[in-house]
Amino acid sequence: MPYATAGDGTRLYWEASGSGAPLVFVHEYAGDYRSWEPQVRHFSRRYRCITFNSRGYPPSDVPTADAAYSQEIARDDVIAVLDAAGAAGDAKAHVIGHSMGAYTTLHVGLDFPNRCRSLTVAGCGWGSQPGTRATSVALARDIGEMFRKEGIAVAARKYADFAMRAQHRAKDPRGFEEFVRWMSEHSAEGHAFTMLNVQIKRPTIGELEPRLRTLSLPTLIVLGDEDDACVDGSLIMKRAIPNAGLLMLPCAGHTINSEEPAAFNSALADFLSAVENGRWRARPPLPASN
């Protein structure tokens, strides 16, 4: 099994399929490298698709110290995976993240723009609604403690039943049960450490806004129109990032790449093609007035 080694020695499990320009996929809190299977099957025909499990998600290591988890560490872990997968130096990657992974994707783009060809940020913004910071922090703490106290099987089912995943459950019961089964194979301890040290402590999208205005990378923002917790953050990103485009899919929830794989893949394919051909122009300059 291939592993990348992070700066602190944590081992990160990764896989690669296909050949061509590298795409690295960064999974959400409730997911793992398998969550990207609809994308890997599609894009590995033209690209080198790299997936991995974040620290805390077996078969990656599960460190047992709070200090081993943070947004900055998660950012650096992506770079470690790229290096291990051979996407180093001039081989810039298209970085594609969902939810927790989308926050990490933003930080990779902000802090390592020389390693990125583009960013795709899907279902990003939980905890960023104006005036709800304290409520979000309290909920995140409750979620972390739920995984720690109730164990992975019970906590995974409760977490999967949150309203933001209702559309996925209704549209694709088979796929939704697979999602729950995969989450039930995770580490409860890893989930607790991740929620209490990454999600609860990371900056909100609003707090990142001044830095986002300096982000020049081509950026695609994707969300479902019923992913209420991510609407405000997505709009902030669209308005702040100079080279960003926003796609909102109708009657769709949070788990957007699994819930609507055909629409997600189509939009991502168009975006990647535009970037590769120098045709991504999210906000062209206005013509000079006479």
- Residue 289: the pLDDT is 63
244-249: strand order across its sheet: 3-5, 11-17, 48-52, 22-26, 93-98, 116-122, 219-224, 244-249
pLDDT of residue 90: 57
Q: What pLDDT score was predicted for residue 283?
A: 72
In DSSP terms, 51 is beta-bridged to 15, 25
What per-residue string of b and e applies to 104-132 under the rule 16 or more CB within 10 Å gives b?
Answer: bbbbbbbebeebbbbbbbbbbbbbbbeee
Helix (H) or strand (E) holding 180: helix 173-183
- Taken in order of first residue, the domains within the chain and their CATH numbers are 3-129+203-276 (3.40.50.1820)
Q: What is the pLDDT of residue 281?
A: 83
Q: What are phi and psi of 210, to 5 degrees?
A: -60, -40
What is the chain's pLDDT, residue by residue, as a tens digit (290 residues)?
Answer: 799 999 999 999 999 999 999 999 999 999 999 999 999 999 999 999 999 999 999 999 999 999 999 999 999 999 999 999 987 555 799 999 999 999 999 999 999 999 999 999 999 988 776 677 888 889 999 999 999 999 999 999 999 999 999 999 999 999 999 999 999 999 999 999 999 999 999 999 999 999 999 999 999 999 999 999 999 999 999 999 999 999 999 999 999 999 999 999 999 999 999 999 999 987 776 677 65
Q: Which residues pair with 17 in a beta bridge?
A: 49
The whole-angstrom separation of Cα 86 and Cα 267 is 27
pTM: 0.95
Report how far residue 168's alpha carbon sits from residue 259's, in angstroms, rounded to the nearest whole number.
Answer: 5
